[in-house]
Chains A and B, each alone.
Chain A
Amino acid sequence: MIKFLKLYEKLGIFILIILASVFLAIVSPNFRNMDTILGIIMQGSYGAIIAVGMTLAITSGGFDLSVDAMMGLTSVILAMLIPQMGFALAIIIAILASCFVGMINGVMITKVGISPLIMTLAMAVILRGSSLLITGGRQVVIAQKSFMAIGALKVFNYIPAPIIYMVVIFVVFYILLNQTTFGRHIAAVGSNEQAARMSGLNVTVIKTLVYVLVAFTASIVGIIRTSQTLIGIPTMAPGFTLNVLTIAILGGTSLAGGKGNLIGTIFAGIFISMIYYGLNLLNVQIFYQFLSVGIVLLFALFIDGLRIRYLESAKIKGISI
């Protein structure tokens, strides 16, 4: 069983993707077309990008439920600022604003000791309300058409820009998590916070920065989505947080903390996108997407729960694994 779980941890998501691909290739002739595949990956990139940040948070032993609201905030800030200062500066301010919110999350969680659940849940409500306040509850159209290039551009007239962003963010975060001391300290904090503290690591700073990074990825997706529609939407992507959490956990990052699997995260993002594509083929209502993501989440949790339990019992029995 442990072997199976270890194997699943490494390969599970790939097996799921292969199964899904074979299935889709059989039922949908369109799927054999490169444009369709790129489209699916692009659709998956939104969740995957934020899930990369979320993976870091889960690795550190926390999580963030306010990412969808952060996207809305980003979208609204862009819509309000682009007419006044052009999109370059607006983007910078939008990203900084999100990062600031992430920092508040981090400080409240580490310093005041509020649980990540309550803090980020409350933050989500506050951000939604604030975003609606800023625009007076309306959606705001962005007149500057050139802004659209950011999300809708195709590199070499072929690869959608969001895929490029996803790859870049993945590479940067992968190196950050696995090759820098900061990244290793994130894993250390998530693996055994007490020991990390006793070893002299500054747990407060590490955790706070992790929430800033989650916020950063959320605002990147907020920018992409806003640019594609050219509308500032205060209530953007309701419920997207569930997608993001599902992707991170399905990708093999354990809720127990300490181990982040970013490669798995990216592919889990694509897998979820394939499910959506499959559901679209069936022409069912959008609610089935919620249902399927919920079920996939429970499945991923089930596997994670098994893993935690077997590791525990192995530890008790003194089996080396």
Chain B
Amino acid sequence: MTMDNENVFIELKSIKKIFPGVVALENVDFDVRYGEVHALVGENGAGKSTLIKIFGGAYQPDGGEIFIDRKKVTISSTSVAQYLKIAVIYQEFNLIPDLSVAENIFIGREPKIAKTFVNWNKLNSDAAKILKKLDIDINPRKFIADLSIAEKQMVEIAKSLSMDARLIIMDEPTATLTEKEVVKLFAIIEELKKKGVSIVYISHRLDEAFRLSDRITVLRDGKKIETRKTSETTQDEIVSLMVGKIVKEYFAARQEKATDKDVVIEVNNYNVADYVYDVNFKLYRGEILGFAGVLGSGIHHLLRSLYGAAQKTGGEVFFEGKPVNIRNASEAIKLGIGYVTEDRKGEGLLNDMSVLQNISIIIIKFLTFFKGIFIKQKKELDVFYKIAKELDIKYANINQRIIYLSGGNQQKVVMGRTLVSDCKVLILLEPTRGIDVGAKAEIHKIMVELANKGISIIMTSSELPELVNLTDRCLVLYKGKIVAEFNRENMDEEKLVAAEIGKLGYDDN
């Protein structure tokens, strides 16, 4: 740090954080000055969320130091963070649904009568004051459960202000907001800045980062790549810093696509209540079809409902020419549709089971004798070794529990689970989320090989290079509608980004 040193509010020095199997942060330096908006950007898995959890006291770093006003501090818990006037607004809000807006704003610091009773009048009027200062029109007596997501966001901001936060960290604050609400949020941020409050702003949307921030720091694979003054850099420059140079190299070569235009799945006028509106598309044999869109675009609801894990509310689906109605996962599996979740921990891994059992869970009922009562163990092992070899899954022994595998190998197991059931269509959500670079390349290679074998793949990824380099075609969803279609020839990251945020395409609303 140079001459700006006096202005620095908080400084993190060579922060390190290790999770089993993954180095989440490696010697990251990061500082925030008074009254500054400091944007933090990076792809998924770059380490942004880990870093903000360290700010908020939810994680303890495994190495490095933190200074506030050049005094060394340890943020050992969330209440210590509060005491240091650091507020973190997580994507999943820390609001209490059954309490009112005012109560949430002042939770733990409520004005009291006789040190015991809630002073409702003061509580509500104080809350109203803060909300008014922010120009937010919410009744402080309303319950959080009755608020929209945007309103909850505003309450979170009001909460951080009420405790005189000197640093507010916002994690993807605009992900679920409408255009109008975003404008309001930005006005509030400008206002905060003037008051000398520092802000760390995390967003996928680079244009926002450029509109708001004074400096931008790029994280990639747990390392800090660079910090630049926003006025002295361009979006293109930041994108290339985020993506890195190695990216082109690790995408496997895609064979020329099969010429026969066999339609495997055709979807007409497809609707999922409140999320997907009148979507039409076709999926060809041996094709990798990408879906792009920001959070809230409806992609996840679309793909989940195709697999029967969510309910469609209208439209038709044809599978190999026959109309089908997929109501649950087992019907999808019967047809030959496989699904690999983006939430590996939450709904992918069977934690208490072995590698072997995790692979065989879908098809185990067919690997049996005696009318499905007993498992043919030899057969199960054969299936396992075959897929383990095919996907190059690394494990210590077949009885090793799945949670002891690295992220990349876990992902291979979850993919292998669907592959062994001989699926014709594979739906992959964020196939490389939270796994390291080497494993990413392997997963990409596997996907290309599968497509070359004639399996059709539907994938979505928030890492745009993945979509650009892997897919044959890419559909862009914006607010539940398909707004653009690209093929290999005319697809690039800039166009995808523009379409994702509704700035390009044939339905520009």
User: CA A182 – CA B273 in complex, angstroms?
Assistant: 41
Q: Report which of B78, B98, B108, B118 forms a contact with A191, defined as CB distance below 8 A.
A: B98
Known: A191-B99, A196-B96. Is A317-B112 also a contact (CB below 8 A)? no
Q: State how many residues of chain B have any CB contact under 8 Å with chain A.
A: 26
Question: Does A195 lie within 8 Å of B96, measured CB to CB?
Answer: yes
Known: A184-B103, A200-B79. Is A195-B95 also a contact (CB below 8 A)? yes
Residues 218 to 276 of chain B near chain A (Cβ within 8 Å): 273-274
User: CA A179 – CA B94 in complex, angstroms?
Assistant: 23
Known: A317-B273, A320-B148. Is A198-B94 also a contact (CB below 8 A)? yes
Q: List, in ascending order, chain A residues with CB within 8 A of B79's CB.
A: 200
A280 within 8 A of B: no
Shortest Cβ gap from A159 to chain B (Å): 29
Question: Does B110 lie within 8 Å of A187, measured CB to CB?
Answer: no
Question: Does B118 lie within 8 Å of A179, measured CB to CB?
Answer: yes
Shortest Cβ gap from A315 to chain B (Å): 8
- Which of B103, B120, B147 has the most chain A CB within a 10 Å cutoff? B103
User: CA A196 – CA B144 in complex, angstroms?
Assistant: 14
A84 within 8 A of B: no
User: CA A267 – CA B376 in complex, angstroms?
Assistant: 60
**CB-nearest residue of chain A to B81:** A200
Shortest Cβ gap from B314 to chain A (Å): 15
A309 within 8 A of B: no
Q: List, in ascending order, chain A residues with CB within 8 A of B146's CB.
A: 320-321
Question: Does B118 lie within 8 Å of A199, measured CB to CB?
Answer: no
Question: Does A184 lie within 8 Å of B99, measured CB to CB?
Answer: yes
Question: Does B108 lie within 8 Å of A180, measured CB to CB?
Answer: no
User: CA A138 – CA B147 in complex, angstroms?
Assistant: 59
Known: A200-B82, A321-B146. Is A179-B97 also a contact (CB below 8 A)? no
User: CA A192 – CA B145 in complex, angstroms?
Assistant: 11
A225 within 8 A of B: no
Question: Does A184 lie within 8 Å of B94, measured CB to CB?
Answer: no
Question: Does B274 lie within 8 Å of A318, measured CB to CB?
Answer: yes
Q: List, in ascending order, chain B residues with CB within 8 A of A192's CB.
A: 94-97
Known: A184-B103, A201-B107. Is A191-B117 also a contact (CB below 8 A)? no
Known: A180-B116, A317-B273, A317-B274. Is A194-B94 also a contact (CB below 8 A)? yes
Question: Does A199 lie within 8 Å of B117, measured CB to CB?
Answer: no
**CB-nearest residue of chain A to B99:** A188
Q: List, in ascending order, chain A residues with CB within 8 A of B148's CB.
A: 318, 320
Shortest Cβ gap from A16 to chain B (Å): 24
B295 within 8 A of A: no
Q: List, in ascending order, chain A residues with CB within 8 A of B405's CB.
A: none
Please classify the interface of chain B as helix (H, G, I), strand (E, B), loop, or mixed, using the class held by over half of its residues: loop
Question: Does A197 lie within 8 Å of B78, measured CB to CB?
Answer: yes
What are the interface flags for B133-153 relative to A under an 8 Å C-beta threshold, 1 for contact and 0 otherwise? 000000000000111100000
Q: List, in ascending order, chain A residues with CB within 8 A of B95's CB.
A: 192, 195
**CB-nearest residue of chain A to B115:** A181
What are the interface flags for A164-181 relative to B under an 8 Å C-beta threshold, 1 for contact and 0 otherwise? 000000000001000111
Q: List, in ascending order, chain A residues with CB within 8 A of B504's CB.
A: none
A258 within 8 A of B: yes
**CB-nearest residue of chain B to A191:** B98
Shortest Cβ gap from B105 to chain A (Å): 10
A128 within 8 A of B: no
What are the interface flags for A191-212 relative to B under an 8 Å C-beta threshold, 1 for contact and 0 otherwise? 1101111111100000000000
A259 within 8 A of B: yes
The number of inter-chain residue pairs (CB within 8 angstroms) is 72
User: CA A302 – CA B177 in complex, angstroms?
Assistant: 36
User: CA A259 – CA B146 in complex, angstroms?
Assistant: 14
Q: List, in ascending order, chain A residues with CB within 8 A of B82's CB.
A: 200
User: CA A211 – CA B134 in complex, angstroms?
Assistant: 41
Known: A179-B117, A184-B110, A317-B273. Is A198-B78 also a contact (CB below 8 A)? yes
Q: List, in ascending order, chain A residues with CB within 8 A of B274's CB.
A: 317-318
Question: Does B98 lie within 8 Å of A187, measured CB to CB?
Answer: yes
User: CA A199 – CA B88 in complex, angstroms?
Assistant: 11
Known: A181-B118, A321-B146. Is A199-B108 also a contact (CB below 8 A)? yes
User: CA A317 – CA B276 in complex, angstroms?
Assistant: 12
**CB-nearest residue of chain B to A196:** B96
Question: Does A191 lie within 8 Å of B103, measured CB to CB?
Answer: no
Q: List, in ascending order, chain B residues with CB within 8 A of A200's CB.
A: 78-79, 82, 107-108
**CB-nearest residue of chain A to B88:** A198
Q: List, in ascending order, chain B residues with CB within 8 A of A185's CB.
A: 107-108
Q: Report which of A181, A197, A259 forms a contact with B98, defined as CB distance below 8 A.
A: A259
Q: List, in ascending order, chain B residues with CB within 8 A of A184's CB.
A: 99, 103, 110, 118
Shortest Cβ gap from B166 to chain A (Å): 17
- Which of A175, A190, A198 has the most chain B CB within a 10 Å cutoff? A198
B58 within 8 A of A: yes
Question: Does B112 lie within 8 Å of A181, measured CB to CB?
Answer: yes
Q: List, in ascending order, chain B residues with CB within 8 A of A180's CB.
A: 116-118
- Which of B58, B145, B146, B274 has the most chain A CB within a 10 Å cutoff? B145
**CB-nearest residue of chain B to A192:** B96
User: CA A98 – CA B146 in complex, angstroms?
Assistant: 40
Residues 93 to 136 of chain B near chain A (Cβ within 8 Å): 93-99, 103, 107-108, 110, 112, 116-118, 120
Known: A179-B117, A180-B117. Is A199-B94 also a contact (CB below 8 A)? yes
What are 26 A-to-B residue pairs whose CB atoms are below 8 Å? A179-B117, A179-B118, A180-B117, A180-B118, A181-B117, A182-B116, A185-B108, A187-B98, A187-B99, A188-B96, A188-B98, A188-B99, A191-B97, A192-B95, A192-B96, A195-B95, A198-B58, A198-B94, A199-B96, A200-B78, A200-B79, A200-B108, A259-B98, A317-B274, A320-B147, A320-B148
Knowing that A180-B118, A191-B97, A199-B107 are A-B contacts, what are 20 other residue pairs whose CB atoms are under 8 Å apart, sorted by A's residue number? A179-B120, A181-B116, A182-B116, A187-B96, A187-B98, A188-B99, A188-B103, A188-B107, A191-B99, A192-B94, A192-B96, A196-B96, A196-B107, A199-B78, A199-B108, A200-B79, A200-B108, A317-B274, A320-B147, A321-B145
Chain B positions within 8 Å of A, measured between CB atoms, are 58, 78-79, 82, 93-99, 103, 107-108, 110, 112, 116-118, 120, 145-148, 273-274
Closest 9 CB pairs of A and B: A258-B98, A191-B98, A200-B79, A195-B94, A198-B94, A199-B107, A188-B96, A191-B96, A200-B108
